[in-house]
Homo-oligomer: A and B are copies of this chain.
Amino acid sequence: MITVYCIIVIFFICSAGHAKYLPKNSEICQQVLGNELLSEISSYKNVKEEIFKYVTEGNFKGKTYNELAKFVDKFGARPSGSEILEDSIDYMIQLTRDEGINDISTEELEVPHWVRGNEVITMLKPRVKNIDLLGLGRSVSTPEDGITAEVIVFSNFEKLEATPIDDIKGKIVLYDPPFTTYGETVIYRLRGATKAAEKGALAALVRSITPFSINSPHTGSQTYDGNITKIPTAAITLEDTDLIRRLYNRGETVVLNIKMSSSYDTKISRNTIIDLKGIEKPEKLVIVSGHIDSWDVGQGAMDDGGGLFISWAAPVILKNMNLRPKRTIRSIFWTAEELGLIGAYAYEEKHRNESSNINFIMESDEGTFAPLGLAVAGNQEARCIIGEILNLFTSVNASTLVEDDSPGSDINIIIQTGVPGASLHNANERYFWFHHTAGDTMNVEDLKELDLCAAFWTAVAYIIADLSVDIPRYIK
């Protein structure tokens, strides 16, 4: 199971790099969209403006930010399998009930429960220095006295493969790939331990997957292949990686002592499902979503508190505004995303036979900075309709359609079954600076940007859910 997750995740992340922007008013779209549909879509301009007014100037102004702050300040990090995560799920349910929405259900599933213990790395040679680290998800512990060994540095897997086992055996492998894109670089975090263990390494370290650092280690998921010895694995900072590489390249022997402890079992968690029932086709779903679990450092405000709260806000805003679309707006709070999209896999499996009812599925899990548009998966006709809807958001600079066959994280599992969907495209240039660090806190979030995201997310979902036509799955 775990291997399967990993491959899909890698596929998603890599393919995200190849997203294209759909040319506006393309000839294809002019053919696909008849005058009637064009006219219908443009008729939503007023409702879109009402939603923006209510969220950015009216009673909802600042509410997304303030509720998110109260939530993350109360619970902090919400790792998969923790009691805190379950308490935070209960809190979100109550928060939703407090808004007068009671069509709420939860679905239980088994989730990984990896708990970080003490983690210390000390450089012993050529001089004594503390090396900041964050163990990677599922990493095994070291012996109590730690692992003391020489470091060997590789900038890619090809160089590791080309090196004789005897040169690696008994050493600590450090991967120092320069950051290019997340998709290209994260494979060293995901697969580094297994690849190093195959060569007899005692532990594997990886340069944190980020373009920028203030000595900030970035944790994240990794998986062990079944047959290979499980070795301890952690991310260290750009700064310490580059220091070790410079020493190593000067011919110095670098010796580290790595002490890491952790525990691993499974627990029961829940996906949370909130429905604002459609008035004409309640069985048809437009899903908005984010994940409620986070890494165990920081507050999980950016990853994915922002996505969680704009998806919580969508049905609340529509209910408060007495806007009931034809189809049902379903808000899902995925659980246990960080350790392998566990909640999303469970949902897809459980709801597979109703999958044809999903008209469109959306997730925000790449930041809630200023909204720019959507990254859309679907056939050409679907993208033309979504593109035309996005044209309504030109005045708020959120009309860009990025063609992306694998948008989102959790929702990509459902999208790969043929369901059209989208993730929030936003001004997230600094996203990976904070991603999976102790710096993922409310300080990354901005009240006005969250209002814009909530308004955009709600308006898009409403329009799609209310259109006379379904978002098509195949070219007609």
Contacts and interface: CB of A to CB of B under 8 A. Distances in A.
A396 interface: no
A299 B214 CA distance: 12
Most buried by B among A214, A239, A246: A214
A246 B298 contact: no
Contacts of A255: none
A442 B214 contact: no
A439 interface: yes
B216 A215 contact: yes
Contact of A441 (B75, B127, B215): B215
Counted per complex, copies of this chain come to: 2
Interface stretch (A261-269, A371-379, A397-405, A430-438): A430-438
A250 B71 CA distance: 13
A377 B171 CA distance: 56
Contact of A127 (B76, B214, B242, B442): B76
Best-surrounded residue of A76, A247, A437, A443 (most CB of chain B within 10 A)? A443
Interface residues of A, number: 31
B73 A433 contact: no
A43 to B, nearest CB: 42
Interface string A297-314: 011000000000000000
Contact of A239 (B70, B126, B243, B439): B439
Contact of A247 (B73, B238, B239, B247): B73
A69 interface: yes
Contacts of A433: 214
B127 A443 contact: no
Contacts of A253: none
A94 B215 CA distance: 31
Contacts of A247: 73
Given A215-B298, A437-B215, A242 B76 contact: no
Contact of A439 (B75, B214, B250, B298): B214
Given A214-B213, A215-B216, A239 B73 contact: no
A9 to B, nearest CB: 24
A20 interface: no
A441 B76 contact: no
A169 to B, nearest CB: 27
Given A238-B443, A443-B242, A438 B69 contact: no
A214 B129 contact: no
Interface in A204-258: 213-216, 238-239, 242-243, 246-247, 250
A74 interface: yes
A88 to B, nearest CB: 12
A397 B243 CA distance: 31
Given A76-B127, A239-B298, A239-B442, 6 more contacts: A74-B127, A215-B298, A238-B443, A239-B443, A242-B443, A243-B299
9 closest Cβ pairs, A-B complex = A214-B439, A215-B438, A239-B441, A215-B439, A214-B216, A214-B214, A239-B443, A73-B246, A238-B443
